[in-house]
Amino acid sequence: MILRCLFALWCFLLVDGATANECEVSLVVLGAGQDAGAPQIGNPADPGWQDPELRLTATALALVDHENDKRYLFEATPHLTAQLQRLDSMAPSAAPGLGIDGIFITHAHIGHYAGLMFLGREAAGAREVPVWVMPRLANYLRRNGPWSQLVALENIQITELAQGTTKTLAGGITVTPQLVPHRDEFSETVAFVVRTNGQSFLFVPDIDSWDTWEEDYDTALEDVIASVDYAFLDATFFDDNELPGRDMSKIPHPRVAATMQRLQHLPDAARSRVHFIHYNHSNPIRDPASAATQHVLDRGFSIAREGDQLCLAVQN
Ligand SMILES: [Zn+2]
Ligand SMILES: [Zn+2]
């Protein structure tokens, strides 16, 4: 169930079409683009220059625990400033400061971690914002500027995660990292499985291949989808015709068309859990009015859009 609740601390939803209940834990899509968003640098013909509706910020999710007044981010993107402003307008925090109770980061590519820079002394000068990352990424942040300065000045406080080991947050929300195959120059790359006392989601914005995940990491996409209520999946490219003049066989990422093909045999309920995210500026699904978007929806899948809000747990 998707709610688009603007300017509201509490979101409401109908249960069995009759009773309104307060949402206890909600998920907000803060961005759905690839790392560099859209329009990208050096693309004067991008329609987003003319139409702000077609602009994309980099992929990020926020998890809002209304019950305990906690807000967690998944990724710190280069668009963090605008994304936090959106979150403040949708689900403001009563806490002093930024109201960020923790940031989970999948890997060290610019769209996923570079927004940490806004926590430093040139911007927010934040105090001890918890940052949860895998060991290689932790090491990278501690040993390389400008990130090391965030650690030294205690703008951020790093806690290391471990593969497959569940981290439990206030209110019993759990976050479990799962390694995925990706271009790991500076860090490992993970997906996150998040469970509340209501619903759960998988977040895998960047992966080289579903087959490699299955063969080398013993994780079948279909099994993970079966174990969660929502699955935010890497949709960087739509198909192999997308980058004229480039040999796309050399470029990883499962194509949206291929992912749909792989999952087409699943029942309607399972396919509807899939929300494609992290789309490149060249991917036609970035335009809600495109034929590609309609094709994805017709096949029973969903596309994550900035501002989407899901209620994961309802107050009893
Ligand atoms: Zn990315
Ligand atoms: Zn990446």
pLDDT band, residue 16 (cuts 50/70/90): very low
pLDDT in tens, 48-71: 999 999 999 999 999 999 999 999
Higher pLDDT, 49 or 246: 49
User: Does position 252 have pLDDT exceeding 60, yes or no?
Assistant: yes
Q: Could you report the per-residue pLDDT of 91-146, keeping only the tens digit for each?
A: 999 999 999 999 999 999 999 999 999 999 999 999 999 999 999 999 999 999 99
Q: How far is the CA of 107 from the centre of ligand 2 (A)?
A: 7
Cα-to-centroid distance, 111 and ligand 2 (Å): 8
For residue 151, what pLDDT is reported? Answer: 98
pLDDT score at 146: 98
Residue 6 has pLDDT above 70, yes or no: no
Q: Which residue did the predictor score with more confidence, 160 or 251?
A: 160
- Please check the confidence at residue 7 and state whether its pLDDT lies above 90: no
Q: At 172, is the pLDDT very low, low, confident or very high (cuts 50, 70, 90)?
A: very high
Q: Pick the ligand that lies closest to the CA of residue 252.
A: 2
Ligand nearest to the CA of 189: 2
Residue 5, pLDDT > 60, answer no
Residue 12 has pLDDT above 90, yes or no: no
Starting from the CA of residue 75, give the closest ligand: 1
Tell me the average pLDDT of the chain.
Answer: 93
Q: What mean pLDDT do residues 156-167 have?
A: 98
Give me ligand 2 centre to Cα 74, in Å: 14
pLDDT the model gives residue 21: 63
What are the CA-CA distances from residue 309 to residues 12, 26, 31, 59, 65 (Å)?
A: 11, 7, 12, 14, 13
CA of 302 to the centre of ligand 2 (A): 22
Domain boundaries, the chain: 23-38+56-314
State the pLDDT at residue 249.
Answer: 81
State in Å: Cα 206 to ligand 2 middle. 5
Residue 176 near residue 165, CB atoms below 8 Å: yes
Of the chain, the percentage scoring pLDDT greater than 90 comes to 89
Q: How far is the CA of 185 from the centre of ligand 1 (A)?
A: 13
- Above 80 in pLDDT, residue 228? yes
| 31 alpha carbon, closest ligand | 1
Which of the ligands is closest to the CA of residue 188?
2
pLDDT of amino acid 237:
97
Q: How far is the CA of 261 from the centre of ligand 1 (A)?
A: 23
Share of the chain above pLDDT 70, in %: 93
Q: Just give the CATH number of 23-38+56-314.
A: 3.60.15.10
Checking if the pLDDT of 307 tops 70, the result is: yes
